Amino acid sequence: MKFTEEQHAFRDSIRRMVERHVAPIAAEIDETDRFPRELVELFGEMGLMQLWVPERYGGPDGNLTMMCIAREEISRVSPACGSIAGLNTMFIMPLLHFGSEEQRQRFLPVVAKGGVVTAIAISEPQAGSDVSAMTTRAVRDGDSYVINGRKQWCSYGVEADYIVLMARTSAHSGAEGISAFVIEPKKMQGVTFGRHERKMGWRGAPNTPIFLDNVRVPLGNLIGEEGKGFKASMRALDLNRPTIGAQSVGLAQGALDAAVAYARERKQFKRSIAEFQGVQFMLADMVMQIEAARALVYECARAGDEGDWERLNVLASMAKCFASDMAMRVTTDAVQVFGGYGYTKDYPVERMMRDAKLAQIFEGTNQIQRVVIARHLLA
């Protein structure tokens, strides 16, 4: 990927910020599972959380390439912190593509100011990959909807000021009966949260069940038309999946950098282990896989920036799937290069390996991504 001069400057500014503000707290966040609220404020000041907000609503008018650059650079140190950059994408996109101008004027300038946390709630205990199994219901009652149900795996929902929530508005069993709503969990009665999930990795990025008990949502908070919520969420996911690929590339690059540095320093048989061909071959395979994934991610970003939605749909699945599988292999090999020390928490590669696993699961499992790719190929 050949970056412009502006994109190079943007990347360099992110890299300096990461070294100063993210690297010193990455291990502590993993250890304590603390949500780094200070990064919300910092990223908001830098325009990273609200990158997608158009200039006419007070935002930086960023694009998919910039989002991928930001997430890749931060994820070299911590993908959990990297996900805070562009965190509001999944809230912004449904409003931009399916919301009314009144809704955009109402919500986007608030997000554009920075410091606002948003989330999207799609999955349920029995509705993950099978979105059509969703049971959360929204029933029209005068000039509002009353929502009842439960959501699972809502990243940052417990911290959010606004959540785009999917709920069924008709008895139709398919995705066509799903609608999208903006809820305000800190203001609306009937919204409660369960315990924080105790995750293997990606700690510091809270996942908490949401319980909805007769939550009354104004009619004006329905995004688009009834039954169009699934389509709105799919567009948002198509634009977000490449950034998961970028995070995976950054995470793998961070693991490779650590492995190369360690291989040069570690001595066995009176030589650095970097001099042994077995280790050299591992490092060579790691860098080849990273470069291949990086090229795919930024080709996907280019398609998104050009508005090539048909191509973006399949490339998003490819980029997310290939890059996250790559990150799992590379971080596992990085632990191997470190040997016994790689299995300890004194070094970052064991954390990186744990973090890599989640990228193969969320935003659509890699098995589902392969289904999407195969359907496109065979259509």
pTM comes to: 0.95
Catalytic residue numbers read 363
The answer to whether the beta carbons of residues 343 and 372 sit under 8 Å apart is: no
Which run of H or of E encompasses 370?
A: helix 366-378
253: its two tokens: 């690059």
The continuous run of DSSP H or E covering 45 comes out as helix 37-46
Bridge partners of 207, per DSSP, are 155
162-168 and 118-121 beta bridge pairing: parallel
Using CB atoms within 10 Å of the CB of residue 311, give its burial: 0 to 12 exposed, 13 to 18 middle, 19+ buried. Answer: middle
- Integer angstrom CA distances of residue 288 from 246, 257, 293: 16, 13, 9
CA nearest neighbour of 88 among 74, 108, 58: 108
CB–CB of 143/218 below 8 Å? yes
Q: How far is CA 38 from the centre of its chain?
A: 19
What SS3 state is found at 1?
coil
Q: What string of pLDDT tens digits covers the 379 residues of the chain?
A: 689 999 999 999 999 999 999 999 999 999 999 999 999 999 999 999 999 999 999 999 999 999 999 999 999 999 999 999 989 999 999 999 999 999 999 999 999 999 999 999 999 999 888 887 899 999 999 999 999 999 999 999 999 999 999 999 987 767 789 999 999 999 999 999 999 999 999 999 999 999 999 999 999 999 999 998 888 778 788 889 999 999 999 999 999 999 999 999 999 999 999 999 999 999 999 999 999 999 999 999 999 999 998 899 999 999 999 999 999 999 999 999 999 999 999 999 999 999 999 999 998 999 999 999 999 999 8
Contact between 76 and 7 (Cβ < 8 Å): no
- Give the list of residues 6+ apart from residue 251 with CB closer than 8 angstroms, or none: 75, 76, 79, 327, 331, 352, 355, 356, 359
CA atoms within 13 A on the CB side of 101: 1
Cα distance between residue 348 and residue 363, in whole Å = 25
DSSP element (H, E) containing 244? helix 229-265
* 57 close to 112: Cβ distance less than 8 angstroms: yes
